[in-house]
Structure 1
Amino acid sequence: MRAFCAGLAALFAFLATALPVAAQTDRASEIEAAAQEIASIRTEVNADQIDEAAALEQRLRALRVEGRNRLTAIERELEATRAQIEFLGPAPGENDPPESDIIAGERSELEGQRARLNGQRTRVLANIFESGELLTRLSGARVGALYRTLVERGASPLEPGLWGAAWTSARDVSARVGRYFASWSEVKRGGGGYGRSVAIIVAALVLSLMLFGPVNRWIAGTFSTAVEKRKPTSARRVVVAGLKMAGRTVPGVIGGLIIIETLRAQGVLTPEGEVAARAFWVGVLSILIVSGFTAGFFAPSSPGWRIAPIDADRGRAVSRLALAIVLIFSLDTLLSAIGIAARADDALLRIIDALAATAIAVCVFLLCRSRLWRVEDEKSGEGWRLLRRIGRALTIIIIAAVVAGYVPFAHFIATRIVYLALFIGLAWMMRAMLAESALALRNSLSTETDRQDENESANYRFWSRLIINTLLIVAVTPAVLVLFGVPSATVRDLAGQAVFGFNIGGVHIPSVAKLFAAVLVFVVIMAATKLIQRGVQQGPLAHSRADIGVQNSLITLMGYAGLVIALFASISSLGFDLGNLALIAGALSVGIGFGLQSIVNNFVSGLILLFERPIKVGDWIVTPSGEGTVKKISVRSTEIETFDRSSIIVPNSEFISSTVTNWTHKDRLGRITVPVGVSYGSDPEQVKEILLQCAHDHPQIVSYPEPFVTWMDFGASSLDFELRAYLADISKGLTVRTELRFAIFKAFTDAGVEIPFPQQDVYIKAMPGGEASQKLKTQQAPAPETNTEAQPETDAEK
């Protein structure tokens, strides 16, 4: 058998080591070459000799991708090598007989192979880490260069020479644009298809314009009308505004695609022309988005659906200013794209940026006038006032920067105001739509009682909005980073690290995707456990004769088992080796010995209670902490409900370490005692018969064990008896004792048996004034009858 294993090990070793030796040699040289190239790039970065930062970033990303591919192959080979070593079994110890030369040789070869692979893995990880570090530095350098460029002072637009150079450049650009279209028309006329191409382009333009009416009416009739029939709420107002915006934007998207594809098919768009065409399309879409949104935001014809707290006239004024800002922004984008494509002079581009920044600043300043935003709500009014102050301050900064010659800085701030407004508006609208959809989903899945529960509705709204806000922040953050100068490639790298994980100090942090997957695995398994518990409880256990306490113990143990499985499965999905949990358990044992001892003690005690079942749910128990009915046995403690309807939370260890009286442990059969006293002139046999007859007549008292009467003592004023009887359900003890006392009193009265008052003889040896001693017999006032045996009160008798 050992020879057979040796043969298989030799075969595996040959397949794993002999075949890919050349490949491993080539890979080692590739890893070393990548390390040298990364070192060379690091030298350039450290010396600040970066000529083409974008090219260096592209190369570093390529090196990182190659490193990740190599790492995947190395880890696959490492896993195969570990499996082969495990197949050979553990190496012989000092006192064990030596293994054969073949197995020893193969083991040595496999160990060497594993060492080489581990070395390559370490080197590849180092290359990947260094590439990421250099990319971060290069991205930071690019952002820094961008902001340094923004704060560089140039020629002011007030200088006449700048306008002259811009005018010359503008004529050159218009001439190039004319030659661009003239060249296209000459080509088409030469081919004989000029008229047909123009007709197709005009038809595409007409079709795009015709889309606005039908699409807008369809969206309004299908969605907006249905929403507006309902009661206006904050979310529904935003939904209506979004639908109005969609009614204008969707035709623009479809029409723009039709026109651009038509122009491309007819050969109008070259790579340079396509940039300008896309800038024009984006500008038109921005105008449509803002016009649609302001139509719903200010809703001049529907005051009930108006979002902004202003009247219709002021709403129209604000809408015109917002549209003017977007129109200026779109025109600036288009002219800049045409100028760059036509290789315009910097003077022309500078004048375009200065005019656009100044015009946007003036419109924003007019938009921030207080008379346009008179809000009755003091809290909301304070927010609007703060926003207006910030807007006015930014407009002053923009105009001052333009005058001083900081045109790029002013243009950057002005355009970012527009971009941020668009992003915030779209995110706000999407948030309201998602919130309304979540509310509609809840209403469709819940019952009428659930919908009327205010606490449940508030909790649902809070958690749904928290999830929606988190998702929107995650979605908008990359766009905002790009907006403020972070290279898009760097943002993609950050997103990739969030998706695939990253290393901190040699420790791998799992990716966000893995964390979500682990949480999802945990939630799914726990939900499945709850369904199984409910199915078992309503199925087999409900149709069995098992005690309610036994059923509760089984259901609780199933919950514990599901929790353990869910915990291990979620940890495993994160990539952690469950074999390392022994080390974690060893480390936790120290903490358990010091700070967690009582917690573990209560947890283990809870497991003992569930398995041994000295108490169970529904039992009537008496503990040093109190008396009542067991309602719940949880991990750390047990809940006891007293007969006063208060709850006592008792640590589970108390039930193990102290004495507990359980009235219903084995069954609910229990004994009650009713003490009674009769006068000395009564017939004891008659008293016994009356008491037994009262017990036999009561339906709650069982016939076996039989009730009996005990003559307890000769009391000071009475003959003391006790009626002792057994009940099928001891929880009815107080009620039965009360009913027996009524019956005994009536029976004694009918039979002429006297229940005496307590009597006492008092002898006075001397009276004030020297009177002789005399015997005085005093009869005390009747005192309420007291029981010599206290009986606990049940939940049903409180």
Structure 2
Amino acid sequence: MGRLAALLMLSLWLAFAAAPLAHAQLASGPAVTTDALEPPDYKSYERTAARAEKMIEDRTIVTPALEKMRGYLVEWRATLLAAQGINATRITTIRQQIDALGPAPADGATEDAEIAARRKTLTAQLAELQAPVIAAQEAHRRADGLIGEIDRVLRERQAAELLQLWPTPLNPANWTAAASALSAVAVEVFEETEQRAGTEAARDQTGDNLPLIAVLTVVGMALLWRGRRLMEALSTRLQEHASVRSGKVWALLVSIGQIVLPVAGIVALSQAITLTGMTGPRGTALVEVLPALGFFMFSANWMSLRVFPKADSQDAPLKLSAERRKEGRFYIVTFGWMIALDALRLTALNPAESDNAATSVLVFPVLTVAGVLLARIGQLCLVHMRNDTEADEPTTYRNRLIGLLGRAAIAIGVIGPVLAAIGYVSAATALVYPAAVSMGLFGLLFVLQTLIGDLYTLATRREDSRDALLPVLVGFLLILAMTPLFALVWGARLSDLTEMWTRFSEGFQLGTTRVSPSNFLFFLVLFAIGYGVTRMFQGALKMSILPKTRVDLGGQRSIVAGVGYIGIFLSALIAIKSAGIDLSGLAIVAGALSVGIGFGLQNIVSNFVSGIILLIERPVSEGDWVEVGTTQGIVKSISVRSTRIQTFDRTDVIVPNTDFVAGRVTNWTRFNLLGRLIVPVTVPFTSDSRLVEKILRDIAEAQPLALLNPPPVVAFVGFGGETMMFEIRVILRDVNFSLQVKSEINHQIAERFAAAGIAFSNAHRDYLARVAGEAEAARLAEEEQAEAMAALREGFLLQGLPSPEAAKRSPDTDAKDTTG
């Protein structure tokens, strides 16, 4: 619990998360390889390693002693890792000399005596130089193994401590031990104070420091009485009167004074008490812990106002009503008091000296209240989830996480006190307090992300930029930075984190080279420099050099693109070589993978090669009017994989480069802008074909963009059903204007034909007229037949005979009489 309390006090500074990692890097990071390194003192290391082996076998060794020995081994491991670089340059040179002699002869074969002697001498030198390196490697593996064994022992002890069954706090027989422990501490503090007050030295010290004690007391009381309220009022005023962008930032920064001023007041009071000289060892320990207790309580109060703000207008991570937010503030503040009480218990009662029964009884009430508070906070998370989700909409990812945290908090808040009641006090403590501190860290993460978003909004002068890319990335980095804090809260040892950082610093094996983060960083820096130089050279070519040459625009862009690819390749090659990464060991693996890559990336490689061909041969350039398959338009850009064509409908079509190299491509404007235009014209049979031809030739020759050599051609190409078909064929100086020229020719044809009395084809119109005439004739025939039938019916009625229709319907009527 003491470690958890210390972590909560330091959680406001994210540097705490990076401190162990930086320490590990300094303590155990690989040193720079140099031939100037001196071999380590292996005799001293052997004594340390032997003592560590005995401590591992001895189960009675206390945990602090094991951790101290582990620290010694970590230092030795770093030294031995650096010693592996001894004679590195010389070893590399001799290996190159041996390689220069050629491969060693096979069994039974011989080689020149001089070469054999030289090979033998170099091999002996290489073995002599590698001896300290091999010794360092062996000792490094031993140190690494011992560190792993110590970590295993410490983890086993930690697990055994968590599963230890203590006397149950519900047994009244154990209450006496708890009361006795508390009374013993109170009596000890009273007796120490009484004894110190009776000494002349203490009274003289109080008298000498009385003015300072009075000043510290007044300042401390003033800061405790008015400091927090003053900062809260100032924060609210800044948020109300400052601008929207800056008000939130300044309000949050000033609100930290709600922690700083009261804690400073407690520090002043504790210092005043210490200056009196009236406290003994136990009393001094209690006085010294007062600032930490105050930090817990006032930090909890500050966090409650950030997570559950009083005003509805303030940003809050949970969507709750004002009443629910008030409950949340009460729960967090109360939890701060519980942590302070438990920290006070740890200071007053040393766990190593106090009875397990007394510790169990004293821990249980505070732990139970903490569990209830944790469960209630979890319920507020579920209330937010219901308030922020409509009935007909799915739950967002953020709300699902909040709901999961809420359910976990409720479960831990119930399980923890139950375990403590049974007697598993360590396990309950390891559940409840880390869960509560984790909830506090999530709240702190929300506060920091809000601050970053407000700062970004203030810097960019926008209304609200919290959802922009940069604040989101910084928030993600914050989560990564706080991961070590979460690990420490949940029981990870600081040595576990340093060990992880050591493994990361050592890097990984790539071929015959071990690549560490420093090598990778060096590679990135060199590659970035090379890439920057390449881009600068491309800019100089594009803006200064190439425009002064006779190379066309498409060729200039191809040259700039090719220089970019070559520069990137050379930058990567130089960076790999300079970083010391040897990829020769990957040749076999690369050869095996090349077959699979050849099949899997066949299309990509084909398009890449085709793109290079396009950039070199340049059958197609940017700005050309091309036709590839069914796609026709203007080439806008050519990359190594594809070409972007903008069609005449203003849509972009991405065409693979393979289609340009392996398929049939029509380039209308690549080498010249000349192009033929064909305009079809259809006239009726009744028109004068010679007159039509003359008019069309005059129109074609009058076009400004039409070439007169060869001259335009007007061809009588054939007959239709009721028409004659002509074509105007002209060669244009710029085929890009073919549509405009065609439109102008059609306009002039309509005007000249109308002036000459030449009609266009009317076959369709004649067909419609004929169909209409036939329908009209049929209608007139039906009307005449109806009139005849009406006259006949009238005649029958005058003669007293039935109508023809009635005669047809009657079966008894004689046919002769009916017709008669």
Q: TM-score range by the shorter chain?
A: 0.7 to 0.9
1:696 to 1:583, Cα distance in 2 relative to 1, 3 A: farther
Which of 67, 74, 80 aligns to 2:77? It is 67
CA distance in 2, matches of 1:565, 1:224: 59
**Structure 1 residue 606, shift from structure 2 partner:** 0.7
Which of 705, 712, 723 aligns to 1:700? It is 705
CA distance in 2, matches of 1:337, 1:758: 111
Which of 443, 450, 467 aligns to 1:432? It is 450
CA distance in 2, matches of 1:277, 1:528: 63
Which of 446, 467, 473 aligns to 1:467? It is 473
Deviations 1:751-795 (A, max 9, x none): 678888899xxxxxxxxxxxxxxxxxxxxxxxxxxxxxxxxxxxx
Which of 163, 166, 170 aligns to 1:153? It is 166
The one-letter amino acid paired with 1:742 is H
Which of 708, 713, 730 aligns to 1:709? It is 713
Kindly indicate whether the alpha-carbon contact (under 8 Å) linking 2:196 and 2:277 is maintained by their aligned counterparts in 1: yes
Which of 107, 110, 117 aligns to 2:122? It is 107
Structure 1: give runs of 5+ residues left out of the alignment: 1-15, 760-798
Kindly indicate whether the alpha-carbon contact (under 8 Å) linking 2:610 and 2:657 is maintained by their aligned counterparts in 1: yes
Find the residue that maps to 1:615 and give its secondary structure: coil
Moved more, 258-267 or 359-368: 258-267
Match of 2:5 in 1: none
Kindly indicate whether the alpha-carbon contact (under 8 Å) linking 2:416 and 2:428 is maintained by their aligned counterparts in 1: yes
The one-letter amino acid paired with 2:600 is G
Kindly indicate whether the alpha-carbon contact (under 8 Å) linking 1:669 and 1:726 is maintained by their aligned counterparts in 2: yes
Moved more, 613-622 or 629-638: 629-638
Deviations 1:340-364 (A, max 9, x none): 2995555543332123223334555
1:343-742 to structure 2, matched below 5 A, reads 344-363=354-373, 376-378=387-389, 393-441=411-459, 443-444=460-461, 461=467, 463-464=469-470, 466-498=472-504, 500-501=505-506, 537=542, 546-561=551-566, 563-564=568-569, 567-568=572-573, 576-579=581-584, 582-583=587-588, 585-674=590-679, 693-701=698-706, 707-709=711-713, 722-728=728-734, 730-742=735-747
Find the residue that maps to 2:603 and give its secondary structure: helix
CA distance in 2, matches of 1:64, 1:370: 46
**Structure 1 residue 327, shift from structure 2 partner:** 1.3
Which of 174, 177, 193 aligns to 2:189? It is 177
Match of 2:27 in 1: none
Which of 205, 208, 223 aligns to 1:196? It is 208
The one-letter amino acid paired with 1:153 is W
**Structure 1 residue 389, shift from structure 2 partner:** 6.2
CA distance in 1, matches of 2:619, 2:242: 62
Match of 2:4 in 1: none
Kindly indicate whether the alpha-carbon contact (under 8 Å) linking 1:691 and 1:723 is maintained by their aligned counterparts in 2: no
Match of 2:156 in 1: 141
CA distance in 1, matches of 2:111, 2:547: 60
The one-letter amino acid paired with 1:634 is S
1:293 to 1:643, Cα distance in 2 relative to 1, 3 A: same
Deviations 1:218-272 (A, max 9, x none): 786579725776669xx998x7885575130132455566667777788789987
- Match status 1:164 vs 2:184: no
The one-letter amino acid paired with 1:159 is P
1:67 to 1:407, Cα distance in 2 relative to 1, 3 A: closer
Moved more, 557-566 or 348-357: 557-566
CA distance in 1, matches of 2:66, 2:591: 48
Find the residue that maps to 2:654 and give its secondary structure: strand
The one-letter amino acid paired with 2:745 is L
Q: TM-score, normalised by structure 1?
A: 0.74
Find the residue that maps to 1:249 and give its secondary structure: helix
Find the residue that maps to 1:627 and give its secondary structure: strand
**Structure 1 residue 28, shift from structure 2 partner:** 6.1
CA distance in 2, matches of 1:214, 1:619: 75
Kindly indicate whether the alpha-carbon contact (under 8 Å) linking 1:714 and 1:720 is maintained by their aligned counterparts in 2: yes
1:781-796 to structure 2, matched below 5 A, reads none
Aligned residue-pair number? 713
Deviations 1:292-337 (A, max 9, x none): 233344444x332273544445544443343223213202211321
Q: TM-score, normalised by structure 2?
A: 0.72
Match of 2:100 in 1: 90
Moved more, 274-283 or 472-481: 274-283
1:634 to 1:260, Cα distance in 2 relative to 1, 3 A: farther
Identity, % of aligned positions: 22
CA distance in 2, matches of 1:513, 1:254: 42
1:166 to 1:198, Cα distance in 2 relative to 1, 3 A: farther
The one-letter amino acid paired with 1:64 is V
CA distance in 2, matches of 1:100, 1:409: 72
CA distance in 1, matches of 2:540, 2:455: 31
1:688 to 1:505, Cα distance in 2 relative to 1, 3 A: closer
CA distance in 2, matches of 1:209, 1:700: 97
Kindly indicate whether the alpha-carbon contact (under 8 Å) linking 1:88 and 1:107 is maintained by their aligned counterparts in 2: yes
**Structure 1 residue 616, shift from structure 2 partner:** 1.6
Moved more, 659-668 or 258-267: 258-267
**Structure 1 residue 659, shift from structure 2 partner:** 2.7
**Structure 1 residue 463, shift from structure 2 partner:** 4.4
Kindly indicate whether the alpha-carbon contact (under 8 Å) linking 2:715 and 2:728 is maintained by their aligned counterparts in 1: yes
Kindly indicate whether the alpha-carbon contact (under 8 Å) linking 2:266 and 2:290 is maintained by their aligned counterparts in 1: no
1:155 to 1:653, Cα distance in 2 relative to 1, 3 A: closer
- Match status 1:338 vs 2:356: no
Kindly indicate whether the alpha-carbon contact (under 8 Å) linking 1:361 and 1:399 is maintained by their aligned counterparts in 2: yes
**Structure 1 residue 208, shift from structure 2 partner:** 4.4
Match of 1:772 in 2: none
Match of 2:7 in 1: none
CA distance in 2, matches of 1:54, 1:715: 109
Structure 2: give runs of 5+ residues left out of the alignment: 1-33, 765-820
Deviations 1:372-419 (A, max 9, x none): 969644569999887776555544444444443444444444433432
1:71 to 1:694, Cα distance in 2 relative to 1, 3 A: same
CA distance in 2, matches of 1:617, 1:752: 48
1:431 to 1:522, Cα distance in 2 relative to 1, 3 A: farther
Asked which structure has the greater CA Rg, the reply is 2
**Structure 1 residue 101, shift from structure 2 partner:** 9.7
1:298 to 1:176, Cα distance in 2 relative to 1, 3 A: same
- Match status 1:320 vs 2:330: yes
Match of 1:778 in 2: none
CA distance in 1, matches of 2:375, 2:753: 101
Find the residue that maps to 2:85 and give its secondary structure: helix
Kindly indicate whether the alpha-carbon contact (under 8 Å) linking 2:193 and 2:283 is maintained by their aligned counterparts in 1: no
1:518 to 1:694, Cα distance in 2 relative to 1, 3 A: same
Match of 1:78 in 2: 88
**Structure 1 residue 618, shift from structure 2 partner:** 1.9
Kindly indicate whether the alpha-carbon contact (under 8 Å) linking 2:234 and 2:254 is maintained by their aligned counterparts in 1: no
Find the residue that maps to 2:635 and give its secondary structure: strand
CA distance in 1, matches of 2:65, 2:332: 40
Match of 1:293 in 2: 303
